[in-house]
Amino acid sequence: MPRTMPKAGRDGDQSTNCRPLPAAIRARAGNVPLSFHSRKAGAYVKLLHLFGKSITLPVHHVRQPAAPSTPLAGDTVRKIDAIESEIIAELDAGTTSQTAHTEPAAQLAQHIDEASLLFASRQPQAAETLLLEAVAHPSGCAREPIAWMMLLELASVADDPLQFEELALRYAQRFETSPPQWRGHLPMAPVATPAALPPGLKFRGKLLGSSAPALGRFEQMAQAHTYFRVDLGGVTEVDSEGCGLLLKLLERLLAESRRVELMPAPALVALLRTQLDSTSTAHRDDAWRLLIELLRIAGDSSAHEEACIAYSIAHEVSPPAPLLPQAAPRMPAAAANPDTLPLPAEISYPVDTLLKSLREPAAQLPVITLDCRALQRIEFNAAAPLLAGLVRLADGKPVEWCDISHLVSTLLQLIGGAERLRIVNRKP
């Protein structure tokens, strides 16, 4: 005969609180009525292994049911244990799945943040170790490219082109795209005014391994100028040896502090593509280099990127660094945009002198745009005073950080808050 429950009453000593089992468990347990009783709201009962816990505390004024003596009661207990085990297994599986999904991204983000702090504290080797650990196993996380960019920036700051080239090749293989180019610390080229366009020197005919005499005459003409353009639109035949002779000539002229611009030559690009399709990989390195240079100068970014990827795969090295400037003259940092404020290579504490130098020009601008092309490091103890000083200096106007490295921008976002900073990171 099932044990019946007294009805709840208002008298605390006579009432009994009854909490029936959930419907799902009752359905699994069969027709045997089950409930847990307590005489008072504050009383405790022993819930056998419910959700993996056993709590035994004093119970007052509770009539303990007799131990199960029938097979039906024993079956009920076993069914409850089975249901409990299923619930625990489902909870554990959900927790494990969520942890496995979020842990790589969280760990990568932590490594990136810590690396920026170490670099700001003048511990670049420790920062590099963290980042190498972060990219050792591809995670597919959204911030994984940032870790790679920071590694490349560390190699650039250390002025280590060999390390940069090795990392750039791994970057290209990992993301199947052209890697960032080496940005070495080169002096700014002199400025050409629009009224004084440089003369154009044309090279026509064959550009072959046997064209050394013709290139010699061309070099003699170039000696009369310190700034000139090279027009290769009249080239009718080409091979890799001839491309190598031309590239060496251009390198010699640049070493003599001459300003040389290579003009776009679509016909020569077509000849080079034909040449590359018809020769073996071992004998076409210089043809690849000249093709990549012409595509970059022409501004064809998609074709340039494809050529860089093909070059990296064929030669198992990073693409060659740019040799010549664009056809349009490049302006120095101070005159490139009068509405930007250039920052120095390093900012250390105290920052009062720097802020003072920015105050007057910033007052004339509706938007304060900070040119960070030369900026390599902001010391950790200088970051907060710098951000606070810029807020006072801006007096409500927007402040933008342009062409800034990920090593520095990550530090600023940690200290100043990512949502409050307007940052344009350096392009690869």
Tens-place pLDDT, residues 7-24: 444 444 444 444 454 554
Residue 408 lies in a domain: yes
What's the pLDDT at 378?
Answer: 96
Residue 63 lies in a domain: no
What's the pLDDT at 426?
Answer: 80
Rounded-to-integer distance, Cα 407 and Cα 414, Å: 11
Residue 390 lies in a domain: yes
pLDDT-derived band at 71 (thresholds 50, 70, 90) equals low
Last residue of a domain, one of 253, 282, 315: 315
Least confident piece of the model among 75-89, 189-203, 363-377: 189-203
Q: Are residues 341 and 266 both part of a single domain? A: no
Mean pLDDT score, 242-265: 87
Residue 118 lies in a domain: yes
Rounded-to-integer distance, Cα 410 and Cα 391, Å: 18
In CATH, what number is assigned to the domain containing residue 420?
A: 3.30.750.24
Q: Which domain holds residue 408?
A: 333-425
CB atoms within 10 A of CB 255: 8
Last residue of a domain, one of 160, 175, 190: 175
* pLDDT of 6 above 60: no
pLDDT-derived band at 343 (thresholds 50, 70, 90) equals very high
- 404 close to 425: Cβ distance less than 8 angstroms: yes
Q: Are residues 310 and 352 both part of a single domain? A: no
* pLDDT of 222 above 80: yes
What's the pLDDT at 348?
Answer: 92
Q: Are residues 205 and 311 both part of a single domain? A: yes
* pLDDT of 308 above 90: no
pLDDT tens string 27-42: 444 444 444 444 444 4
Average pLDDT of every residue of the chain:
76
Q: Are residues 303 and 209 both part of a single domain? A: yes
Q: How many domains does the chain have?
A: 3
* pLDDT of 218 above 60: yes
Last residue of a domain, one of 280, 315, 350: 315
* pLDDT of 423 above 80: yes
Q: Are residues 130 and 214 both part of a single domain? A: no
Q: Are residues 293 and 341 both part of a single domain? A: no
Residue 72 lies in a domain: no
What's the pLDDT at 417?
Answer: 81
pLDDT-derived band at 428 (thresholds 50, 70, 90) equals low
Q: Are residues 395 and 342 both part of a single domain? A: yes
Q: Are residues 416 and 338 both part of a single domain? A: yes
Residue 288 lies in a domain: yes
Residue 3 lies in a domain: no
Q: Are residues 310 and 262 both part of a single domain? A: yes
Of residues 404 and 49, the one with the higher pLDDT is: 404
Rounded-to-integer distance, Cα 143 and Cα 150, Å: 11
Mean pLDDT score, 138-149: 89
Q: Are residues 339 and 413 both part of a single domain? A: yes
Nearest to 131 by CA among 146, 175, 139, 403: 146
Supply the DSSP symbol for 419.
G
CA distances (Å), 394 to each of 125, 173, 318, 390, in order? 36, 43, 42, 6
- 222 close to 228: Cβ distance less than 8 angstroms: yes
Q: Are residues 309 and 337 both part of a single domain? A: no
Q: Are residues 250 and 337 both part of a single domain? A: no
What's the pLDDT at 201?
Answer: 85
Highest mean pLDDT among 62-76, 111-125, 303-317: 111-125
Residue 9 lies in a domain: no
* pLDDT of 75 above 80: no
